[in-house]
Amino acid sequence: MNAHAPILSVTNISKQFGGIKAVNGVSFDVQRGEILGLIGPNGSGKSTLFNCILGQLRPTEGHCRIHGRSTDGVRPADLSLMGVGRTFQQLSVFPRMTVLDNVILAGQEHEGSMVSRLFGRPDAGLTAKAEQLIEFFRLSPYRDTEAGSLSYGQQKLVDAAMAFMAGPEIVLLDEPAGGVNLTMLAHLKDRLLTYNREHGTTFVVIEHNMEFVMSLCTRIIVLAQGEIIAQGSPDEIRSNPMVIDAYLGG
Partner 1 sequence: MTPTRIILVALGIAALVAAPLGQGNYIVYTLTSWLLFSIAAMGLNLTLGYAGQVSLAQAAFMGIGAYVTALMTLAGLPWIAAALVSVAASFVVGLLLGYPALRVQHHFLAFVTLAFNILLFLVLRNEEEVTGGSFGLVGMPRPSVLGISTDSNLNFYYFALACFLFAAFVMWWILRSPWGRAFKALRENPIRAESLGLKIRRQTLLAFAIGSAFGGLAGALMPPLVQFIEPGSFALIHSLKLLLMVVVGGAGFFFGPMLGAALVILLPELLRFTEGYYLIIYALLVIVLMVFSPNGLIGLGQKIWLGFRPKQEERRDMKKGFQL
Rule CB under 8 A: say whether 51 interacts with partner 1: yes
Helix (H) or strand (E) holding 242: helix 241-243
Contacts of 74 (CB under 8 A, 6+ apart): 55, 82
In the complex, what is the shortest distance from the CB of residue 165 to partner 1, in angstroms, rounded to a whole number?
8
* Number of residues lying near ligand ATP (CB under 6 A): 12
Report the residue number, 35 or 165, with the smaller CB distance to partner 1: 165
Q: Is 47 in the site for ligand ATP (CB under 6 A)?
A: yes
Query: Which does residue 95 bind out of ligand ATP, Mg ion, partner 1, none, counting CB within 5 to 8 angstroms by kind?
Result: partner 1
| Distance in angstroms (rounded) separating the CA atoms of residues 47 and 27 | 15
C-alpha–C-alpha distance, residues 15 and 54, integer Å: 13
Residue from 86, 87, 97, 92 nearest 152 by CA:
92
Which parts of 55-94 interact with partner 1 (CB under 8 A)?
56-57, 75-77, 79-81, 86, 88, 90-94
Q: Does 20 bind ligand ATP (CB under 6 A)?
A: yes
| Residues from 188 through 227 that contact partner 1 (CB under 8 A) | none
Strand order of the β-sheet with 69-70 is 20-30, 8-17, 61-66, 69-70
Q: Is 119 in the site for partner 1 (CB under 8 A)?
A: yes
Beta-sheet strands, E only, within 31-156: 35-39, 61-66, 69-70, 84-86
Beta-strand relationship, 35-39 and 202-206? parallel
Residue by residue, what is the 3-state secondary structure of 26-42?
EEEEECCCCEEEEECCC
Give the binding range for partner 1 (CB under 8 A) out of 10-18, 34-42, 106-114, 235-243: 106-114
Footprint of ligand ATP on this chain (CB under 6 A)?
Answer: 17, 20, 22, 40, 42-48, 89
Footprint of partner 1 on this chain (CB under 8 A)?
Answer: 47, 51, 54, 56-57, 75-77, 79-81, 86, 88, 90-97, 101, 104-106, 108-110, 114, 117-120, 122-124, 145-146, 148-149, 152, 155, 162, 165-166
